[in-house]
């Protein structure tokens, strides 16, 4: 697969925009509508490209430590049941 991709990239003179356009076309032809939509958004706007680049470069979100009571309150605020909370607690110990 890697050799095939390298060959196609060379044929397109290693132009990333042409590669994305080719991927977008292939996604449309294979009825991969979700992939086509994502690639279409990337191609259509430089703002979208900047947002994607920013998301990719952001550090992984750190975990927020909570007490048992704070966690229970958070789950209730988000309409999860006490049983779900207790199951989560059992799984994380």
pLDDT of res. 70: 85
Residues 25 and 52 both lie in one domain: yes
Q: What is the CA radius of gyration of the chain?
A: 22
Residues 78 and 41 both lie in one domain: no
Residues 52 and 24 both lie in one domain: yes
Report if pTM > 0.85.
Answer: no
Angle, alpha carbons 36-41-47 (nearest 5°): 165
Higher pLDDT, 43 or 25: 25
Residues 49 and 69 both lie in one domain: no
Say how many domains are in the chain. Answer: 2
Q: Is 46 helix (H, G, I), strand (E, B) or coil?
A: helix
- C-alpha distances (whole Å) from 2 to each of 6, 20, 23, 27, 85 are 6, 17, 15, 19, 46
**Residue 50 reports pLDDT greater than 80:** no
Mean pLDDT of 5-30: 84
Let me know if 39 is exposed, middle or buried by CB neighbors in 10 A (0-12, 13-18, 19+).
buried
Taken as a whole, the chain contains a residue count of: 93
Higher pLDDT, 1 or 27: 27
Residues 46 and 79 both lie in one domain: no
pLDDT of res. 52: 74
Residues 85 and 53 both lie in one domain: no
Q: What is the pLDDT of residues 55-78, one digit of tens each?
A: 777 777 667 788 888 887 887 887
Structure tokens at 77: 């605020």
pLDDT of res. 72: 78
Domain membership of residue 72 as a residue range:
63-92
Q: Is 31 helix (H, G, I), strand (E, B) or coil?
A: coil
Residues 5 and 48 both lie in one domain: yes
């Amino acid at each position: 697969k890697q050799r095939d991709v390298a060959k196609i990239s060379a044929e397109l003179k290693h132009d990333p925009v042409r590669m994305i356009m080719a991927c977008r076309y292939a996604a449309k032809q294979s009825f991969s509508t979700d992939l086509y939509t994502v690639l279409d958004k990337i191609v259509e706007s430089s703002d979208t490209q900047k947002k994607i680049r920013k998301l990719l470069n952001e550090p992984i979100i750190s975990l927020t430590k909570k007490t048992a009571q704070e966690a229970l309150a958070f789950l209730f605020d988000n309409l999860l049941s006490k049983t779900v909370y207790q199951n989560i607690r059992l799984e994380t110990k």
